[in-house]
Amino acid sequence: MIRLVMVDLALQQEQPQFLEQGDMHMYLCYGLHSMLNIVADKEGVGAAVLIRSCAPICGLETIQQRRGQKTDKPVLLLGLGRLVKHWVLQQNGLTIAFTLLRVGAGGLELLDGPEPEKILIGPRVGIEYALPEHVNALWRFAIAGTPWISAPKNTLRPP
C-alpha cells in the first residue's frame, strides 16, 4: 500500500525529512525532476539522503519495459530525472508532486547489501546557488568501480 500525502508547497521538500527512518519520499523539484530522498535518522530529527542513481539487483526487464529501452547499460537509472522518471507511481500518466512511501509499505524496499570494498566521496552536484561551505562539502558518496554513478564522476575520489 502506498500512502499519498498532501502538504503545503513550502513544506513539500522539508517536512518528510522529519518522518520515520527508512521512509522514502518523491517530490518535483523546480518543476524539472522528481527527487527520491530516504529519511536517514530518527523521527523528528530531520535528515534525509538524496538518491542520484541506483544499480538494479533484479527486475531489469521491468525497468527496460517501463523506460522503453532494451539496454542493460547504466543509463537506465542514472541521474535524478532518469531514476524516478518512470517509477511505478508515475505510470499511466500520473503527475506526482509529493509521494510518501512508508517503511514496509511494499513496492520499494531498502535492503542490507554487502559492505562495499571502496567508497568514493566528492562535492554535491547542482547546488551552485548554495553557500560555499555547502557547495564544497564532501556530501556525495558512491561505490568505487560501479558503472551506476551519476555524472560527473571526475569529482569523486577515495576518502
Residue 28 has pLDDT above 70, yes or no: yes
Compute the mean pLDDT over every residue in the chain, rounded to the nearest whole number.
75
Domain termination residue (choose one: 70, 94, 110): 110
Is residue 9 scored above 60 in pLDDT?
no
**pTM greater than 0.85 (yes/no):** no
Instruction: Using the 3D structure, point to which of 74, 89, 110 is the last residue of a domain.
Output: 110
Q: Are residues 50 and 92 in the same domain?
A: yes
Which of 99-103, 129-133, 144-148, 151-155 shows the lowest mean pLDDT across its residues?
A: 99-103
Round to whole Å and give the CA distance between 90 and 88: 5
94 and 125: one domain? no
Tell me the pLDDT band of 68, cut-offs 50, 70 and 90. confident
Same domain, 53 and 131: no
Strand positions, DSSP E, 17-136: 24-29, 33-39, 48-50, 98-101, 119-122
* 121 shares its domain with 75: no
Give the chain's domain count.
2
Verify that 150 and 138 share a domain, yes or no. yes
Q: Are residues 61 and 33 in the same domain?
A: yes
Same domain, yes or no, for 105 and 130? Answer: no
Task: Note the pLDDT of residue 158.
Answer: 93
Domain that holds residue 44: 1-110
Beta carbons within 8 Å of 2's beta carbon, 6+ residues apart: 89, 99, 101, 105, 106, 107
Instruction: Tell me: do 120 and 84 sit in the same domain.
Output: no
Written as one letter, the residue type at 28 is L
- What is the Cα–Cα distance from 146 to 12, expressed in whole angstroms? 32
Same-domain check for residues 57 and 118: no
As a whole number, mean pLDDT of residues 4-15 equals: 48
pLDDT at 80 over 90: no
Which position has the higher pLDDT, 80 or 129?
Answer: 129
